[in-house]
Amino acid sequence: MRRLPSLNGLRAFEAAARHGGFVGAAEELHVTQAAISRMVRLLEERLQVRLFERRPNGLALTPQGRMLQPRLTAAFDAIAGAAAQVLAVGLQPVLTVGVGPSFAVRWLIPRLADFHRNNPGLEVRLATGGAINPFNEEWTCGILLGNGDWPGYEAEQLFSTELILVCAPAIARRLAEPAQLEKETWLKAVHAPEDHRLWLKAAGAAAALCASTITFDNYGMALQAAIDGVGVAVALRAYVEDDIAAGRLVSPFAVAVPADRAWYLVYRPFRCEDPALIAFRQWLIGLRTETASPSLGGPQAVFAGRPDQSSIT
């Protein structure tokens, strides 16, 4: 059984500590300054410690107050977040997917219309992270690129992938063999600096082979430059399948390098019964089953592990 001090006193102290005085706390909690002062004093009596030093020019936290305030702020923030999530679920099903900008633009967004047609009452929110993913606990799930090992998460492999060289059709027409790439401009993503070297090694060409290099913040920018005829890029196949099918890009050489990463659907175990997650997972599995391609993996489930070599690109 928990023996807690007065929650009103804790709220009054936390607000006063955060605002640096009773005035801001009173305005936030819609009570008088005298009420805030009284609740803080009762809390101090209950804890048998002083939390504030009362000074002529204002309040100052005591060491005990400095110890208590950040913990209370974090706890109240967590309570507010949990309440907001419960309210959102009660009002309307919401699917929040953490996904990298390149994967979102190059693969997910072009297919979202199909998901929406099959789940018209489900609100979808896409949230993006950096190249190295900080998984946000407010997400329903994430689609992460990595080795499948994330401690405390369930991770189901969606797509394995491989690296291929792509370029605009006009550039492809002047490429008969990999050695001719020395006259072309390489388009690279800053978080995947070795992709072109891996491909060149597999093609039996010199690792330093290039005329010039342009580096971009992400795959999406590099591949758009490739579509526009700026140069050649080594890309994850899943990012360029649609462009190859549409004729915007060409893969001029039959050299493909299996990547040591794959995309995974990642989520906390407690969300496994979430209707939004269930709908999204079934849709993704349907796409995986319907599409016969070297870039699509089979139904594998992987659990636990470590978060290194994971990204949300």
User: What string of DSSP letters covers 57-96?
Assistant: TEEEE-HHHHHHHHHHHHHHHHHHHHHHHHHHHHHS-EEE
Question: Rounded distance, CA 280 to CA 97, Å?
Answer: 9
Same fold, 7-91 and 92-313: no
The string of pLDDT tens digits covering residues 116-136 is 999 988 999 998 864 445 677
Local confidence band at 276 (pLDDT 50, 70, 90 cut-offs) = very high
The string of pLDDT tens digits covering residues 179-202 is 888 888 999 988 888 888 889 889
What is the CATH number that goes with domain 92-313? 3.40.190.290
- Under CATH, what is the fold of the domain 7-91? Arc Repressor Mutant, subunit A (1.10.10)
Crossing angle of helices 275-290/109-118, nearest 10°?
Answer: 120
Domain borders along the chain are 7-91, 92-313
Q: What is the mean pLDDT of residues 202-223?
A: 82
In the DSSP assignment, the letter for residue 208 is T
Question: Rounded distance, CA 240 to CA 168, Å?
Answer: 12
CB-based contact 200:209 (threshold 8 Å): yes
Phi/psi of residue 203, nearest 5 degrees:
-85, -5
CB-based contact 27:12 (threshold 8 Å): no
Nearest one of 16, 13, 19 to 46, comparing CA atoms = 13
Return the SS3 of 125: strand
